[in-house]
Structure 1
Amino acid sequence: MTLERITLAGGCFWCLEAVYEHVRGVHRVESGYSNGAHPSPNYEQVCSGTTGHAEVVRLDFDPAVVSLRELLEVFFTIHDPTTLNRQGADVGTQYRSAIYWHTEAQRALAAEVIREANEHHGGRVVTELQPETNYHPAEAYHQHYYARHPDQGYCAFVVASKVDKFLASFKRLVK
C-alpha cells in the first residue's frame, strides 16, 4: 500500500481532524500549523496571527480506497470556502481556507476542484492553493481533541455539527 499526503486548512483544526478521522482510507490525521514564517510555532503564537501559519490537518490516505477528489469534496462540504480568514466565530489568518499540496498532480486536481467549487459558490471561493511549507505538528493536547473531549463546549456545538454533516452527506466514505 502506498499512501499519499495532503494538507488542508479550513478553520479550527479540531473540526477537520474530527471529520477526517471517520473517513475510510485515511490512515493518519495530524493537526498542525503550516505555511507561515516562524520555524517552530506554538498554538499561542499561531493564534496571535503573527506567524502567518494556518491551522491545518495533514492527511495520510490510501488513494486506492479514497481519492483525493473525494477528500476535497468532503473539505468543501464541511467548511465555508467563501469567508476570508474566518470560519464562523473563528477569525484570523490562521483560520483561512487552503489546500497545501505535496505533488504537482495534487496541485492540478485541487485547482480543478477549486474551480468547480467557485462555480457552485458564484465566484466567491477564497481557498488558497500553495505547496505545503514550514509545517509543524500541533501540541499533543490538540491531537484527536474531539475524540477525547466530545462534551467540551466548542466540540459539542461546533465540531459535532461538522461530523454530523459529514456522516449524513458521505455515507459511502464512513469507516
Structure 2
Amino acid sequence: MTEYATFAGGCFWCVEAVFKDVIGVETVESGYIGGHVENPGYREVCNGTTGHAEAIRVGFDPAQLSYADLLDIHFATHDATQLNRQGNDVGTQYRSAIFPETVTQEEQAREAIARAQAGSAKPIVTTIEAFSTWYPAEGYHQDYWETSGRSNPYCMAVIPPKLQKLRKSFAERAKSLAA
C-alpha cells in the first residue's frame, strides 16, 4: 500500500529530481501547500503572496523505504539551515518544511530534525507544518528535470550536485546506481 510524504526544500524542480531517483519511491508530484489562497498558481506562489511553499508529495512503498529514510534523504540533499531560501531562491515559498500526514509522521519528523541538528554546526530551521490542502503544480512543472531541466542553466547548476549527494550518501537507495 502506498504511503505519502510531503516536503518543501527550495525549488520543487530540484527536490523532485532527487526523490525520483530513490528506490521505493513510486510517484513524485510537484505542488503547493501551506498557504491561505485557494487554487494558487505558480506566479502567485513565486511572488510570495499566497503563503504556500513549493513542495513535493512523494508516494512510496513502505516495504522498500521508510518515512524516516525519506526524511534523512531530504535533510542530506538541501540546506535546512537557510531560513526561507535555498541558494538564490529567496522567500517563504522556498522554506524548508515537513508536512506530516499522521501523528507518527510528525514524531518521526521531530526525530529527523534532531538527527540533522546533531550533525550541524548551524541551527536547523526546518518547520513542521500541518498537512493542508495539496495543490498539484501546473503540468509543465511535473517531471521537469526529465523534460526540460537539462536545458535550463539554473537546473544544471543546482540539480546535479543534489543528485551527487544522494548517490554518495545513499548509494544503496539510488535508482541510477542500482544494478
TM-score normalized by the length of structure 1: 0.96
The CA RMSD measured in Å over matched residues stands at 1.0
Report what 1:174 is aligned to.
174
CA distance in 1, matches of 2:105, 2:153: 35
Q: Aligned pairs, how many?
A: 174
Cα deviation, residue 151, structure 1: 2.6
Any conservation in 2 of the 1:37–1:134 contact (CA below 8 Å)?
no
Is 1:61 aligned to 2:78, yes or no? no
TM-score normalized by the length of structure 2: 0.94
Q: After the TM superposition, which segments of 4 or more aligned residues of structure 1 sit over 4 Å from their partners?
A: none
Corresponding residue SS for 2:99: strand
Report what 1:44 is aligned to.
43
Report what 2:101 is aligned to.
102
Percent of residue pairs bearing the same amino acid type = 47
Report what 1:156 is aligned to.
156
Bigger shift: residues 96-105 or 126-135? 126-135
Cα deviation, residue 123, structure 1: 5.7
CA distance in 1, matches of 2:3, 2:130: 14
- Structure 1 residues 111-152: Cα deviation after superposition (integer angstroms, max 9, x where no partner): 111112122224600101022112100000000001112131
Bigger shift: residues 124-133 or 113-122? 113-122
Is 1:130 aligned to 2:148, yes or no? no
Cα deviation, residue 69, structure 1: 1.1
Corresponding residue SS for 1:101: coil
CA distance in 1, matches of 2:144, 2:153: 12
The aligned amino acid for 1:93 is T
Cα deviation, residue 167, structure 1: 1.7
Cα deviation, residue 164, structure 1: 2.1
Any conservation in 2 of the 1:37–1:53 contact (CA below 8 Å)?
yes
- Structure 1 residues 19-58: Cα deviation after superposition (integer angstroms, max 9, x where no partner): 1001011100000000100010000000110100000000
Report what 2:69 is aligned to.
70
CA distance in 2, matches of 1:132, 1:138: 17
CA distance in 1, matches of 2:85, 2:4: 25
The aligned amino acid for 2:60 is F
Corresponding residue SS for 1:131: coil
Is 1:13 aligned to 2:12, yes or no? yes
Structure 2 unaligned runs (5+)?
A: none
CA distance in 2, matches of 1:112, 1:164: 25
Structure 1 unaligned runs (5+)?
A: none
CA distance in 2, matches of 1:173, 1:3: 18
